[in-house]
Amino acid sequence: MIAAWLGVSVFLQALLLGVHSIQYYAGAACVAALVMVLWRSRACLNPHVDMLLIMLASGGLGMFVYPAHLACATGSWRSYGWMLLFGLAPAIPLARCLRAAFRRGYLMWALSIDAGAMIGGMWLSSRIHGGHGEWAALTHHLTMLSGMTVGMLLGMWIRYATFESRSHQSAI
């Protein structure tokens, strides 16, 4: 059920961007299917993959709740908020890395670090301008998703360096 929601979220993002090309929709369907397969096989992957998939799919869809997302070249704090609501809220119970943070007592710190790093990455990526015509919206959205992903990866690294490496040292 969750895999289907993530796949639908990815495809809805493609539909909302309004690009009119059969190849574009075929590519979006392939990406949606890939997200579904990755979710179903996540037990074989790093625990952080859960959060990456949820944020790219559901969080990316959340950016569309605030309509000015595509028109705002400087980034919109409202779209950032909706992205966090659609992405981080379901990630808390579903992402293995956040469940581990909860068990170890640093969930709120983990969420603060992750949210701050994602918003920082999106804000920096909003400074990049590119694309014209109907592809401008796609370029902007993919740039924002890329910034969010880079920020998330940085946040995960900070979280690991701050909390998880200490727990490994104390176990030794």
Rg of the chain taking only CA atoms, in angstroms: 16
Cβ atoms of 111 and 98 closer than 8 Å: yes
Q: Is the pLDDT of residue 70 over 80?
A: no
What are 135-159's pLDDT values in tens digits?
Answer: 777 888 888 899 999 999 999 999 8
Q: What is the pLDDT of residue 167?
A: 56
Determine phi and psi for 122, rounding to 5 degrees.
-70, -40
Asked whether the beta carbons of 99 and 93 are under 8 A apart, the reply is yes
pLDDT in tens, 3-59: 999 999 999 998 888 777 899 899 999 999 999 999 999 999 999 999 999 999 999
Comparing CA positions, the residue from 113, 15, 104, 2 lying closest to residue 53 is 2
Residue 141, pLDDT score? 84
pLDDT tens digits for range 117-137: 999 998 888 887 766 776 777
pLDDT of residue 108: 95
- By CB atoms closer than 10 A (0-12, 13-18, 19+), residue 50 is buried
Which structure tokens are listed for 160? Answer: 């690991």
Spatial contact of 35 and 50, defined as CB atoms under 8 Å apart: no
